[in-house]
Amino acid sequence: MATLQDFRNERLRKLEELKKLGLNPYPAKSTRTHKNAQIIADFDELENKQVSVVGRIVSIRKFGKLAFVVIRDDGADVQLFWRTAESKPDVKNSEVSIENIALLDTGDFVECKGKVIKTKTGEISVDVEKMRLLTKSLRPMPSAIDGFTDIEQRMRRRYVDMNVNPGVRQRFVRRTKFWQATRDFMNDNGFLEVNIPVLEHTTGGADANPFVTHMDALDQDFYLRISHELPLKRLIGAGFEKVYDVGPRFRNENYSDEHLPEHVAMEWYWAYADWQDGMALMEDMFRTILEKTFGTLHFKVGGKEVDMTKKWEQWDYATVIKDNYGIDIFNCTIEQIQAELKKHKLEVEKAENIPRGIDKLWKNIRKDVVGPVWLINTPAFISPLSKSNDEDPNFTQRAQAVIAGSELCNLFSELNDPVDQLNRFQEQQNMRDAGDDEAMMLDIDYVEMLEYGMPPTCGLGFSERVFWIFEGVTAREGVPFPQLKTEYDNVTKAIYPEVFADGKEEATASVKERKQDFSKKIIAVVRKDLEPWRVVNAVAHMEAIIGSKIPKQSLTSGDYFVGSDGVELPRNSQYPIIIMRGDEKDLHKLQRKAQELGLIYHVFIKEMQDTTNDAEIVESLKNKTASETEFFGVSFFADNEQAKELTKNFQLWK
């Protein structure tokens, strides 16, 4: 069975044949008078008129001295009716004769000049007078019959995905329309688009972990922005009244169906307006953008029927939490919140403070909301940059649009009291200093701007999550080129041996073996009286920690073994992993010796199997010494002589 490499080699042979004919397979210039779609739509006007069309060959059929070639440009197809020409082709102009049709393949780009006709079968076509090769392709596109359905490959080779799956290409046409409609709406409503920096000294405006980079010219670290907010509000302080920006923002967090570390977002700020004005504007904005992008205001999203023509509901934050969990958000403890999280099988570990915990409880409610709904009256302790409600300072003038289980935008009456803002910044900074990496940084320059004065202002931000939700796709499916870990398959390595050889790139590690080191071992010693499941659990945890502490290049002897079928099988650990057993009192002695010798080691204690909450473990160990702590296992990394000496009193696990 022919492989990709075989097809590529055959096309390389054809490429050389074309060059021998004196033809340039990659000319710089091409000429087009009409798009393919125009040929079909305007046939009555164009019949028997001379045109020039271009596109990628999607099919070739030859019958004796005739050939039918279908080309595609910008998503539309047209047929080329090709027969023997009266004059010889000008090879210096990259022209090809039908006698050399065998040197063309699907995937090649061509230019055709001729008259618009209908064939005997009624097919609208271009009667070829001159055929030029514009680009010789070296790899065949998967056919529609072959399919191109592997998600990983589709993400890595979007340029293939969009050729084979036209619906994917149309998705990104709609994505472009979405952002164009956003800009049009903003401009039509008197807003100015002002581009602001991506690199910031202090990043803020959201709860998120930032990316950090370094500027050599200033020899200083910068953050990639997590929000557009603070610079845009500085513009309001500078005298602008309606501003917005559309562009990327970066949040150094994990992927999810609704989140990407890099994504496009829009924020606007409107002086002399409040949150009520903002909600009215946004309801109009949603309807306008969705109508222009999708041509409808009725959607089925995740099994929910969403009608964007209906009146928006308004839900009060504290009331929603009280009705669903019986919790008074202003008079509760973190223990009460964590108990509710456990009761509803929600993550407890990252709910180390009341705001984080309450937010998780709300998100559990949010997932079932159909909408459109405005969640209003958010507590001040959850919204550090939002203005307090005049009637009750415990609440803020904030509204969140919730549709089909997702939060699609945040809207605020912006805080413009510099003293209040500084106090809230300090609260956030204290949380950050206590270990909350997503809490906001104290931005004293922004406080200074407020001291000069910023008028009453309403602001809103939303990301392309809005598009993903109504398009009905996940975040990674909703962007053209999602970030993926760099990987190269064996076919690529075989095709480009000059690249993947002699360690020229880090990627060559998967085909290059490293010299094995037999002088060291990883030892795991567990209590001999443990149940089997506890043994497996203890060993797995300890070896994961030990592996994370040993440098990667020394831990493995290479990335893959490769079978005869080309399948990559992950390589072994560089070092033997030995599992042994012993009494608990000996585990304590082993830990002390490993520590004295300065070895990489890890201890697994009973509490680690009782709970996965580090805070609970810390609390339980407050009044215990190491000798009073119940050890389940000790693992260490050492050379053979040290390992032999340390384990002489232990037996292999059986």
Write down the pLDDT at residue 562: 72
- Per-residue b or e along 613-642, where b marks 16 or more CB atoms closer than 10 Å to that residue's CB: beeeeeeeeeeeeeeeeebbbbbbbbeeeb
Q: Which residue, among 587, 614, 594, 454, has the nearest Cα to 529 in the 3D structure? A: 587
Which residue, chain included where needed, has tokens 């040929």?
A: 39
Query: What does DSSP assign to residue 587?
Result: H
Write down the pLDDT at residue 510: 42
What's the rounded mean pLDDT across residues 295-305? 94
Q: Which residue, among 460, 441, 464, has the nearest Cα to 222 in the 3D structure? A: 441
pLDDT interval class at 504 (50, 70, 90): very low
Write down the pLDDT at residue 508: 40
Q: Which residue, among 577, 573, 558, has the nearest Cα to 638 in the 3D structure? A: 577
pLDDT interval class at 506 (50, 70, 90): very low
Confirm if 226 and 208 have CB atoms less than 8 A apart. yes
| Spatial separation of the C-alpha atoms in residues 93 and 25, rounded to whole Å | 10
Q: Which amino acid is at 135?
A: T
Q: Is it the case that residue 120 has pLDDT exceeding 80?
A: yes
Q: Is it the case that residue 384 has pLDDT exceeding 70?
A: no
| Spatial separation of the C-alpha atoms in residues 39 and 132, rounded to whole Å | 19
Local structure of 561: helix, strand or coil: strand
Residue 473's alpha-carbon distances to 161, 304, 490, in angstroms, are 15, 14, 31
Helices (H), 516-604: 532-549, 552-555, 584-596
With 0-12 / 13-18 / 19 or more C-beta atoms within 10 angstroms meaning exposed / middle / buried, residue 471 is buried
Full 3-state SS string of 429-440: HHHHHCCCCCCC
Q: Could you give the domains of the chain?
A: 4-135 (2.40.50.140), 168-312+408-471 (3.30.930.10), 491-515 (no CATH), 516-652 (3.40.1490.10)
Q: Is it the case that residue 143 has pLDDT exceeding 80?
A: no
Q: Which residue, among 279, 259, 258, has the nearest Cα to 270 in the 3D structure? A: 279
| Spatial separation of the C-alpha atoms in residues 510 and 568, rounded to whole Å | 9
The residues that bridge with 300 in the sheet, in sequence order, are: 305
Confirm if 385 and 414 have CB atoms less than 8 A apart. yes
Q: Is it the case that residue 293 has pLDDT exceeding 90?
A: yes
Predicted TM-score (pTM) of this structure: 0.74
Q: What is the pLDDT of residues 596-641, one digit of tens each?
A: 888 889 999 998 988 888 878 888 888 888 888 999 999 999 989 8
With 0-12 / 13-18 / 19 or more C-beta atoms within 10 angstroms meaning exposed / middle / buried, residue 530 is middle
103 contacts: CB under 8 Å, gap ≥ 6: 14, 17, 18, 96
Write down the pLDDT at residue 1: 64
Whether residue 384 is preceded by a cis peptide bond, meaning omega within 30 degrees of 0, is no
Q: Is it the case that residue 509 has pLDDT exceeding 60?
A: no
Confirm if 203 and 226 have CB atoms less than 8 A apart. yes
Write down the pLDDT at residue 507: 38
pLDDT interval class at 139 (50, 70, 90): very high
What's the rounded mean pLDDT across residues 360-383? 91
**Lowest-pLDDT range of 44-53, 391-400, 450-459:** 391-400
Q: What is the pLDDT of residues 401-431, one digit of tens each?
A: 999 999 999 999 998 999 988 988 888 888 8
How many degrees, rounded to 5, is the angle at CA 385 between CA 379 and CA 389? 45
Pair of tokens at residue 631: 């050890």
Which residue, chain included where needed, has tokens 């009761």?
A: 343
The residues that bridge with 264 in the sheet, in sequence order, are: 248
Confirm if 78 and 87 have CB atoms less than 8 A apart. no
Full 3-state SS string of 73-108: ECCEEEEEEEECCCCCCCHHHCECCHHHHHHCCCCC
**Strand-strand pairing, 406-413 and 398-403:** antiparallel
